[in-house]
Amino acid sequence: MMITLTVNGERVTRHVEPRRHLIDFLRLDLGLTGSHAGCEHGVCGACTVRVDGEIVRGCLVLAASLDGAEVTTIEGLTDSGEVADLQDQFVARNAAQCGFCTPGMVMAAADILAHHADADRAAIREHLAGNYCRCTGYQAIVEAVAATLSERAIHTSADAGRGDRTREARR
């Protein structure tokens, strides 16, 4: 069937087989290889992407169901600058080793930054518990997210007197 949707801000129209799941659609049909297929049964989180503002498992969503949807992948999230500070923290703390989980982990962490600004370390660990990382042991990832939250909190309180804050890039 034919679907038209927005991916990373660009409109795309493609013919998809009914069985095509979102992660294969992104990787194989659009060449967006930043999202990864890790388990293809919804456990590992490597395929985490954003659909209409919420993070989903790319392997559990059929592309055919996404006509009219707005999809953001790690490529789009990066280009927007929304998580540039988080990505800098990942680099500084070596919160990625092989990197295969990292795009999904960053998508999940972006969800914390967007919706749970007061998350403590335990809450961060809980929120990331659907994303499997074999390399790091998670601690550096948790610390990268916690450091980003506290940096943003400092900026937010500094900004408070100046009115509106946006979720745009704050490098």
Options 7-15, 60-68, 70-78, 159-167: segment touching another protein (CB under 8 A):
70-78
Single out the residue of 119, 121, 129, 125 nearest to residue 48, CA to CA.
Answer: 129
> Helix, strand or coil for residue 171?
coil
Pick out residues in 151-170 that bind another protein (CB under 8 A). Answer: none
Pick out residues in 9-48 that bind another protein (CB under 8 A). Answer: 17, 19, 27, 33-41, 43-44, 46
Residue 91 CB partners (closer than 8 Å, separation 6+): none
Residue 80 interacting with another protein (CB under 8 A): no
Which residue, 98 or 153, has its beta carbon nearer to another protein?
98
Single out the residue of 28, 138, 86 nearest to residue 37, CA to CA.
Answer: 28
Closest approach, Cβ 42 to another protein, in A, equals: 9
Residue 139 interacting with another protein (CB under 8 A): yes
Closest approach, Cβ 38 to another protein, in A, equals: 5
Within a 10 A sphere around the Cβ of 171, how many other Cβ atoms? 6
Report in angstroms the alpha-carbon separations of 138 from 102, 107, 108, 171: 11, 15, 13, 24
Positions that interact with another protein (CB under 8 A): 17, 19, 27, 33-41, 43-44, 46, 73-75, 78, 87, 90-94, 96-103, 106, 124-126, 128-142
